[in-house]
């Protein structure tokens, strides 16, 4: 386990099996737990961990440490952590495009970039209708190769994750055509859109929003850049709060989760990952000592869940496979 020069969070792996950190919330959730798999802390010492993305061809994971303005790399073969890029434009979410290149949301430049195979950085989008984007947050790629990303204002609200600036666009979800580069705003009626992902067949887009009083997850039918049939899929309710999301090959929704633990109010912390059925029923909860901001599947078989959580990076093998390349 690596320490990368920041607040270190003490962690003790489970000594008994199955790991009590994997809480079953419904009978269907039991099949997701591997009896002998335990939560691991792969790295700690970050300021705010976000945006993990798996590179199976290189057997490594990249993720962001936004306030420290760096992208970190964890190597599956050695277990070592190194700096992939710094400065990194206060990068947040990452994904891979149809050719396997890294695409990133950068708060500081208020833009979407692509890292070419030779390391050069290409700006894919930084304006819409002549005005700058807010602060691209999370990103995913549709089966047709189009790049979809959320654009709330978190990165322009202060100096911690970007730089203060006036918002000139509504909170939005955008589609960037993978062939023509045309940018279209597909959704403009969500407050603080954040995590997003496609269902396995690519016909539905799942998006998290920061509505009040509860965090919500919506689904949309997608055809090209057109979305329709908006449906409320999941309401976090109570003190829970969603963040990044990932879907497995069966369409189950794995959500970065946090909340609770307020003295005298919510004595049980909800930090970790909440798992839902495709219909929005809670199946399981993976308890972590820190709030999980974002997550992705990876590993040789796509069954290792990587969880970027506040100051640390955690991992857990599960009985599910993610939609990864």
pLDDT at 142: 96
pLDDT at 265: 66
pLDDT at 4: 72
* Residue 80, helix vs strand vs coil: coil
CA 273 and chain centroid, separation: 11
pLDDT at 23: 97
pLDDT at 96: 98
Eight-class DSSP state of 270: -
Q: Provide the β-strand partners of residue 308.
A: 294, 313
* Residue 155, helix vs strand vs coil: helix
Tell me how far apart the alpha carbons of residues 289 and 274 are, in angstroms, rounded to a whole number: 14
pLDDT at 237: 79
Could you list the mean pLDDT of each consecutive 10-residue stretch along the chain, which spans 325 residues? Answer: 78 95 98 98 97 97 98 97 98 97 98 98 98 98 96 96 97 96 96 96 94 84 95 86 95 93 70 97 97 97 98 98 82
pLDDT at 66: 98
Question: Could you tell me which of 158, 104, 165, 161 has the C-alpha nearest to residue 133?
Answer: 165
Tell me how far apart the alpha carbons of residues 160 and 145 are, in angstroms, rounded to a whole number: 32
Cα separations in angstroms, 189 against 76, 122, 173, 193:
40, 29, 9, 9
Q: What is the CATH number assigned to the segment(s) 2-317?
A: 2.120.10.30
pLDDT at 229: 97
pLDDT at 75: 98
Tell me how far apart the alpha carbons of residues 170 and 183 are, in angstroms, rounded to a whole number: 15
Q: What is the pTM of this model?
A: 0.96
Place of tokens 């790399």: 73
pLDDT at 99: 96
- Phi first, then psi, for residue 97 (nearest 5°) are -80, -175
Identify whether the C-beta of residue 143 lies closer than 8 Å to the C-beta of residue 198: yes
Identify whether the C-beta of residue 73 lies closer than 8 Å to the C-beta of residue 61: yes
Structure tokens at 120: 């050069």
Structure tokens at 121: 């950085």
Instruction: Give the β-pairing of 216-223 and 272-276.
Output: unpaired
The domain ranges of the chain are 2-317
Place of tokens 């997850």: 217
Identify whether the C-beta of residue 53 lies closer than 8 Å to the C-beta of residue 62: yes
């Amino acid at each position: 386990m690596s320490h990368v020069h920041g607040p270190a969070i003490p962690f003790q792996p489970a000594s008994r099996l199955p790991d009590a950190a994997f809480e079953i919330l419904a009978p269907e959730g039991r099949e997701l737990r591997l009896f002998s798999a335990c939560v691991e802390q792969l790295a700690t010492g970050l300021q705010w961990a976000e945006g993990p993305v798996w590179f199976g061809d290189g057997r490594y994971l990249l993720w962001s440490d936004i306030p420290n303005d760096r992208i970190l790399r964890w190597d599956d073969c050695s277990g070592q952590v190194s700096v992939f890029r710094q400065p990194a434009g206060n990068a947040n979410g990452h994904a891979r495009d149809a050719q396997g290149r890294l695409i990133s949301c950068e708060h500081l430049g208020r833009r979407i970039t692509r890292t070419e195979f030779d390391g050069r950085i290409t700006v894919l989008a930084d304006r819409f209708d002549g005005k700058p984007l807010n602060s691209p947050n999370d990103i995913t790629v549709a089966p047709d190769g189009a790049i979809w990303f959320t654009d709330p204002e978190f990165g322009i609200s202060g100096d911690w994750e970007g730089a203060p600036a006036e918002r000139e666009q509504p909170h939005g979800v955008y589609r960037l055509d993978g062939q023509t580069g045309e940018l279209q705003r597909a959704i403009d009626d969500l407050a603080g859109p954040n995590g997003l992902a496609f269902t396995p067949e690519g016909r539905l887009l799942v998006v998290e929003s920061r509505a009040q009083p509860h965090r919500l997850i919506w689904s949309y039918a997608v055809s090209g850049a057109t979305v329709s049939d908006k449906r409320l899929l999941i309401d976090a309710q109570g003190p829970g709060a969603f963040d990044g999301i990932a879907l497995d090959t069966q369409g189950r929704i794995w959500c970065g989760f946090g909340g609770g633990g307020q003295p005298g109010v919510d004595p049980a912390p909800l930090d970790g990952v909440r798992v839902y059925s495709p219909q929005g029923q809670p199946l399981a909860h993976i308890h972590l000592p820190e709030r999980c901001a974002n997550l992705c599947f990876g590993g040789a078989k796509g069954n290792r869940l990587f969880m970027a959580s506040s100051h640390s990076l955690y991992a857990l093998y599960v009985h599910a496979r993610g939609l990864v390349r």
